[in-house]
Amino acid sequence: MELRHLLYFKTVAEELHFTKAAAKLFISQPPLSRQIKELEDELGVQLFLRSNKQVSLTNAGKYFKAEVDALFARLEESKEIVSKIHNGVSGELKIGYISSVYQSHLAEILKSMQIEFPYLKTSLFEVPTLTQIKELEEGRLDAGILRAPVLSEKLMVESLFFDPFVVVIPLTGQQFENKEAFADFLKNSPFIFFNKDFAPHYNQKLVEICKRMGFTPDITHEANNVHSILQLVEAGLGVSILPSSLKKQYAQLKVSFVELDDIPVNTEVVLAYKKSNQNPALAWFIGHYRESHSLNPKE
């Protein structure tokens, strides 16, 4: 069995028409039919049901098509990996991140990358967690800075730090006598948060924290990034619950960050990438970004 046999089979299985498949392969029909017959003889099975009007796959043929499709997909991926290894010191490194993670030292790492890889272009994309996972799996991103869980067998996931939550309220100087009074204030306040479909796990965290405080949040306003949420809070349109690590990044805003010391709910920030991606620039970035977080957690 040679690779051409599999290519011929794959083409006929897709076209379900020998003449069209032969034209697509730039060969005549008799040699194509002969090659398919040789493949069937070698496998000892019938792959196609043939009649004057149509061609269809047998059950064995359907199974074999799925296996051959996977084989060719893996071959294409291997070709891409080889190309990336060869061009690793140039080309483009695509990094995804989420708006709710403070990136205080990412710029410094990228500056160092320019020295290490002077011909490499680095591109940053603000992408929500669920979209990042899909784009990492499909190779449209090389690395992702996102929040757990990352439920993918195709990706390697490394923990960076655990981020507790804080309540964010407008800066009004309002004082609360006790935890119960603060919880009552939140219960009667409109909440500003991420859309449930946009960040489902994040949304669950918000609901869990509020449930622990004895109420269900009234999510009145929704936004797709943390910048918009904080601006709406600052404008007095409601309150929110966000990761504690954002306090430093948005210290200039007229909002108050209230600690939730007695509610041990947090979110894990992780670095994800495809194990098969052997780009040396990616390996350099992973190592240095991981190290920066071990030295400066929550930054």
231-286 pLDDT tens trace? 999 999 999 999 888 887 788 889 999 998 888 889 899 999 998 888 888 999 99
What is the reported pLDDT for 91?
Answer: 76
Domain residue limits, the chain = 3-86, 92-160+268-295, 163-266
Rg from Cα positions in the chain: 27
Q: What are phi and psi of 33, to 5 degrees?
A: -60, -35
Q: pLDDT higher for 99 or 61?
A: 61
CA atoms within a 13 Å half-sphere pointing along the CA-CB vector of 86: 6
Q: Which CATH architecture has domain 3-86?
A: Orthogonal Bundle (1.10)
What is the reported pLDDT for 90?
Answer: 63
Q: Are strands 48-50 and 55-57 parallel, antiparallel or unpaired?
A: antiparallel
Q: Is residue 21 scored above 80 in pLDDT?
A: yes
Specify the range with the lowest mean pLDDT, choosing from 74-78, 89-93, 126-130. Answer: 89-93
- Please give the Cα distance from 225 to 193 (Å, whole number): 9
What is the reported pLDDT for 78?
Answer: 82
Instruction: Quote the tokens at residue 5.
Output: 């046999």
* Helix residue ranges, H only, the chain: 3-15, 18-25, 29-43, 59-86, 106-116, 129-137, 179-187, 200-212, 226-234, 280-295
Q: Is residue 59 scored above 60 in pLDDT?
A: yes
- Please give the Cα distance from 112 to 189 (Å, whole number): 45
Mention every residue, 6+ apart, whose C-beta is less than 8 A from residue 278.
Answer: 81, 84, 85, 88
Decide yes or no: CATH 3.40.190.10 for domain 92-160+268-295. yes
Instruction: Quote the tokens at residue 264.
Output: 């041990």
Assigned fold of 163-266: D-Maltodextrin-Binding Protein; domain 2 (3.40.190)
What is the reported pLDDT for 189?
Answer: 94
Distances (CA, A) of 240 to 12, 112, 148: 57, 36, 20
Residue entry with tokens 């603000």:
126
Domain 92-160+268-295 and domain 163-266 have a common topology: yes
- Please give the Cα distance from 221 to 195 (Å, whole number): 9
